[in-house]
Amino acid sequence: MRLRVPPGAPAALKVLAAAGAAPAPVRPHLDGPSERPRALPSPAGPELELDNGTVLFSANAICQYFYLFRGEEPTDLSTQWLEWEATELQPAVAAALYLRLVQGRPGPEALGVLQHLLAHLEQHLARSGTSHLAGEAASVADVVVWGSLFPVLQDETSLPSELQVLRSWFRAMSQWEPCRDAAALLPEALRELRNHLAQRPPPLQAPRHEPQESLERMLTDDDIAAAVDIWAQGPAALPPPRQPRTPVLPVEGERNVLITSALPYVNNVPHLGNIIGCVLSADTFARYCRLRNWNTLFVCGTDEYGTATETRALEEGLSPQELCDRYHALHADIYAWFRISFDHFGRTTTPQQTRIAQDIFQRLLAQGFLLQDTLEQLRCESCGRYLADRFVEGTCPFCGYAEARGDQCDKCGKLINAVELKNPQCKVCRGTPVVTPTQHLFLDLPKLEGRLEAWLERSWATGDWTANARHITRTWLRDGLKPRCITRDLTWGTPVPLDGFRDKVFYVWFDAPIGYLSITANYTDQWERWWKNPQQVELYNFMAKDNVPFHSVVFPCSLLGADDNYTLVNHLIATEYLNYEDGKFSKSRGVGVFGDMAKDTGIPADVWRFYLLYLRPEGQDSAFSWADLLLKNNSELLNNLGNFINRAGMFVCKFFAGTVPEMVLTAEDQRLLARVTLEMRQYHQLMEKVRIRDALRCVLGISRHGNQYIQVNEPWKRIKGDERDRQRAGTVTGVAVNVAAALAALLQPFVPGVSTAIQDQLQIPPERCGLGPGLTCTLPPGHRVGTVSPLFQKLEPEQVEALRQRFGGGQAKQPPPASAPNTSAAPGDPKLIQELTEQVAKQGNLVRQLKTAQVEKAQVDAQVAKLLELKQQLALAEGRSPEVPKGKRKKPQ
């Protein structure tokens, strides 16, 4: 590859930084563009000539190519940022550079055209809870956005002081070695660019908003009028409470929502990643649906058949059924503690499962969608059994991953036949299995491909499928469907009702999804009204991304082939993975928090729910962090949400004898109503699209509006003033406590225990606990509130550090932090210096976030101490003498 970079092109910064981050096997030539005839103005942008002669002219495309080269696929979020940078940021930067370089305008004036864009970046970084634009690591999006901004800003001090999070991000990016090396070219680039810009007309770019609109869009008169109207309707604007029905059955003329969560395997105690990927996400949406008065049924259960159950039962000296009984109860207890609101939590080892699975099988057989073939299967002679796919490990034949399973490679995602694995091993005894031929039955997926594609086209056009679910499904179709084996040589499973195969059972991935139907059948004998009623029922499937193919291809093909008017999925909601700190959850190594351990931490279930939903891996993998849990609990829950709700209720009790006072709305109050109503409107839009994490940020945004409203109006001071001031204090208090009442409803899907506590404290009648279209006067003047008390408790650094060590596996003996670099390397080691530089930037960002959140000084001091230690290590690595921090002198007593 050959990269040509004209020195006068600001786009050179991001291209060179991306090349350094890859790192790409390319030597940049700072000698200007090639002589190719092109319709590009001078100075032309960078161009990358690939080995096959193809030339890339787009700077963003070049950056993306470098990241693809290092094996990082673009995510939906990073792609959106690249589009934003090209269409929004680049024109504004061009205008700012013209003002600064050509017209000599001062920095603040040049930054004026960027103000709304900088505010957008600040808002995203603050709300996302991640240190970078598309995750915890610098992605191509960070490099591209940084590269555009750096010529204008040059250092973070150019940014307004209120953009603290953006300042931290920009500083960290500028200190990152690939960006730091690229920035060394800036002076020459700006000289060349100044000459170029001076010869051209000024860019046509104007600010889209006035400066005061930095963090929110302008409220229109219509917004305010609509909000005031909803407020005036009072409780009439709320939906009437839905009368509970048992069992829940579809109702003609209503929205009937059927929600399933991927069935957890009975042998596995679910960890936090399993819980957020399936049951907690599904529960949050189910609770929202019920708040909307949609007729909702939420079912789940344990998947109990298969070799894993047989093996574990032998190990524990139990029958498979006894083992399933024990672990089913364990799962049920875990989900009950997490307040998962199943309408029915069942299991697959039931007579209904056998009856329904065998019926679907017989229909597929009659329709000609099954075929027989010889399957070469691995058999472990030491264990005396055929090995289920997941009990074989080996090297992936496609990508070489050493720990691929016998059915799928977790690294490249490709399906595997166990006999294709290189160096296969039995996971039970680590012996080498032998290939043995045996007759099996296959689902003829190629024969069903046409029906599947026609159905997918309809479902994608009318339903909400997450981007990863669509992508994974398209990949399966692109590669072409192949017959899929649906039987196994086991004893613990649903028997195959066909002569010649009666010694076999159904393969788990044919059998397990049918568990949704049989679990519903155990809930009600009218189960077919849900599962054979696609005209009236909307089906939502929740799962992690590894389960997508079986829910988007295999199971739908089974139901399409059975041809019995089955309800098929309308909305397939798949998450990415949640990791633990810097690695993966591992029960065997004692790494990570598992469901049966969470309640022993002393942290309430609703705090766990909140944090998992706050970092729900919707667009990319995310990571659980103890330090971040502490930060989010103390800043978002305690200082933001809890502080506002507690103050609103306490003002009613302290200043107005527990009775909501009269309210005389001013223009300022009406603007607050409009802001809250707009946040609620966005909340509804996001929840309906199952963008749960973003909807939670709307809720937190409302409490921020409320805190600001109280802080500006200072009712604790006005209550001591004249009659006009006391009336103002009453209005502010009344409006604030009604915002708190709205938050009780908005929070119900996320933290139901907290929601109930708010309702109890404010004495909100059950008929007023619904979720309306905007902020209503739910608690009118004269309403009496109850006893108000704090909703959340502060987490202390010592408490969290003890938990981090407890769940860190091998970290039990007071280890260095998991992310600590190897400081034993020799001074001057470039790798060590880069690693320490990144750690200093990351720790500095954490300190700034803690200070911004105004957490207690002790917490800040603990993190500052870590930052100073890292800085000393960096100084030593760079061959400098570390600076010893000077302590403050104490005054003499």
633-686 pLDDT per residue, tens: 999 999 999 999 999 999 999 999 999 999 999 999 999 999 999 999 999 999
Q: What is the pLDDT of residue 113?
A: 79
Indicate if the pLDDT at residue 448 is higher than 60: yes
Rg of the chain taking only CA atoms, in angstroms: 30
Tokens of 525: 């004998």
Residue given tokens 């870590």 in the structure block: 866
Choice among 43-52, 206-215, 228-237, 689-698 with the minimum mean pLDDT: 206-215
Choice among 26-35, 276-285, 371-380, 716-725 with the minimum mean pLDDT: 26-35
Indicate if the pLDDT at residue 287 is higher than 90: yes
The pLDDT tens digits for 850-879 are: 666 555 565 566 677 777 777 777 766 666
Mean predicted confidence (pLDDT) in 813-834: 48
**pLDDT band for position 376 (cuts 50, 70, 90):** confident
- Find the farthest-apart pair of alpha carbons in the chain and give their distance in angstroms, rounded: 95
Q: What is the pLDDT of residue 9?
A: 65
Q: What is the pLDDT of residue 312?
A: 80
Q: What is the pLDDT of residue 22?
A: 80
**pLDDT band for position 131 (cuts 50, 70, 90):** confident
Instruction: Check: CB of residue 557 under 8 Å from CB of residue 443.
Output: yes
Tokens of 182: 């690229």
Q: What is the pLDDT of residue 397?
A: 92
Task: Give the 3-state secondary structure of residue 827.
Answer: coil
Indicate if the pLDDT at residue 155 is higher than 90: no
Choice among 207-221, 235-249, 416-430 with the minimum mean pLDDT: 207-221
Q: What is the pLDDT of residue 45?
A: 67
Indicate if the pLDDT at residue 214 is higher than 90: no
Instruction: Check: CB of residue 563 under 8 Å from CB of residue 484.
Output: no
Mean predicted confidence (pLDDT) in 742-753: 97
Q: Over pLDDT 90: what percentage of the chain? A: 53
Indicate if the pLDDT at residue 208 is higher than 70: no
Residue given tokens 């875990």 in the structure block: 334
Instruction: Check: CB of residue 168 under 8 Å from CB of residue 843.
Output: no
Mean predicted confidence (pLDDT) in 598-613: 95
Task: Give the 3-state secondary structure of residue 358.
Answer: helix
Q: What is the pLDDT of residue 814?
A: 33
- List the one residue out of 335, 770, 882 whose CA is nearest residue 595: 335
Mean predicted confidence (pLDDT) in 436-444: 93
**pLDDT band for position 811 (cuts 50, 70, 90):** very low
CB neighbour class for 814 (10 Å; exposed up to 12, middle 13-18, buried from 19): exposed
Q: Over pLDDT 70: what percentage of the chain? A: 85
Q: What is the pLDDT of residue 657?
A: 96
Mean predicted confidence (pLDDT) in 614-631: 90
Choice among 9-23, 534-548, 563-577, 663-677 with the minimum mean pLDDT: 9-23
**pLDDT band for position 189 (cuts 50, 70, 90):** low
Indicate if the pLDDT at residue 10 is higher than 70: no
Mean predicted confidence (pLDDT) in 595-617: 94
Choice among 33-42, 180-189, 211-220 with the minimum mean pLDDT: 33-42
Indicate if the pLDDT at residue 533 is higher than 60: yes
Overall pTM > 0.85: no
- Higher pLDDT residue, 1 or 41? 1
In our burial notation (b when 16+ CB lie closer than 10 A, e otherwise), range 646-668 reads bbbbbbbbebbebebbebebeee
Instruction: Check: CB of residue 136 under 8 Å from CB of residue 623.
Output: yes
Tokens of 665: 């709305």
Q: What is the pLDDT of residue 823?
A: 43
Please enumerate, as own/partner, the contacts of 817-820 that have beta carbons within 8 Å and a separation of 24 or more.
817/866, 818/581, 818/582, 818/583, 819/582
Instruction: Check: CB of residue 324 under 8 Å from CB of residue 515.
Output: no
Indicate if the pLDDT at residue 329 is higher than 60: yes
**pLDDT band for position 303 (cuts 50, 70, 90):** very high
**pLDDT band for position 42 (cuts 50, 70, 90):** very low
Highest-confidence segment of 238-242, 297-301, 421-425, 616-620:
297-301
Whole-angstrom Cα distance, residue 71 to residue 674?
A: 46
Q: What is the pLDDT of residue 62?
A: 87
Q: What is the pLDDT of residue 106?
A: 62
Q: Which residues pair with 594 in a beta bridge?
A: 271
What 3 state SS string does 496-558 have?
CCCCCCCCCEECHHHHHHHHHHHHHHHHCCCCHHHHCCCCCEEEEEEEEHHHHHHHHHHHHHH
Sign of the Cα torsion 510, 513, 519, 525 reads negative
Choice among 71-85, 413-427, 563-577 with the minimum mean pLDDT: 71-85
Whole-angstrom Cα distance, residue 776 to residue 663?
A: 13
The pLDDT tens digits for 53-79 are: 777 777 888 888 888 877 777 777 887
**pLDDT band for position 840 (cuts 50, 70, 90):** confident
Helix axis angle for 555-562 and 445-462, nearest 10°, is 100
Q: What is the pLDDT of residue 878?
A: 63
Angle, CA of 693, 696 and 699, to the nearest 5°:
160
Q: What is the pLDDT of residue 732?
A: 97
What's the mean pLDDT when you consider all of the chain? 85
